[in-house]
């Protein structure tokens, strides 16, 4: 019984001989890894570009509503006319600085801040009015 144990132990302990790679196998492996990396980068770029185009042109991120806060003396419809927000336009395509500067042209508006609320598909306008006599 002792001899069988030794034989099995010797078989497990043997190391496999490593075959020498030829230069063609080395360059083939490198070329394969390079092509796989390039294909991965190209497919991720393609998917990212298509996702960008989808969200730019789909109606899912269009302006759903405009919330105006801070109006006491101004009628909200006047501010909506000044803002000139198209409800078919994408939230990310709106120039918030331009909308803010248009709203600041109103004589009662001291400052207007405009933000996007992507979760509610809303454009939020915060208005600070001028105080008469100061």
SS3 19: coil
Q: What is the CA radius of gyration of the chain?
A: 33
- Both tokens of residue 85? 């927000």
The pLDDT of residue 46 is 98
Check pLDDT > 60 for residue 25: yes
Query: Which residues on adjacent β-strands are paired with residue 128?
Result: 111
Quick one: which of 100, 129, 128, 116 has its CA closest to 67? Answer: 116
| Of residues 132 and 52, more confidently modeled | 52
> Greater confidence, 110 or 47?
47
Q: Cα separation of 80 and 85, whole Å?
A: 7
Give the tens place of pLDDT for each residue, 37-75: 999 999 999 999 999 888 888 878 888 888 989 888 888
């Amino acid at each position: 019984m002792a001899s069988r144990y030794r034989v099995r132990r010797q078989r497990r302990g043997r190391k496999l001989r490593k075959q020498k790679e030829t230069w063609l196998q080395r360059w083939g492996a490198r070329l394969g890894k390079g092509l796989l990396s390039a294909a991965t980068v190209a497919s991720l770029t393609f998917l990212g570009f298509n996702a960008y185009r989808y969200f730019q042109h789909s109606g899912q991120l269009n302006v759903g509503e405009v919330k105006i806060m801070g109006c006491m003396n101004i009628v909200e419809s006047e501010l909506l006319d000044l803002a000139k927000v198209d409800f078919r336009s994408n939230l990310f395509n709106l120039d918030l600085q331009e909308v803010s500067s248009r709203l600041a042209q109103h004589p009662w508006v001291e400052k207007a801040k405009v933000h996007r609320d992507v979760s509610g598909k809303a454009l939020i306008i915060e208005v600070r009015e001028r105080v008469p006599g100061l």
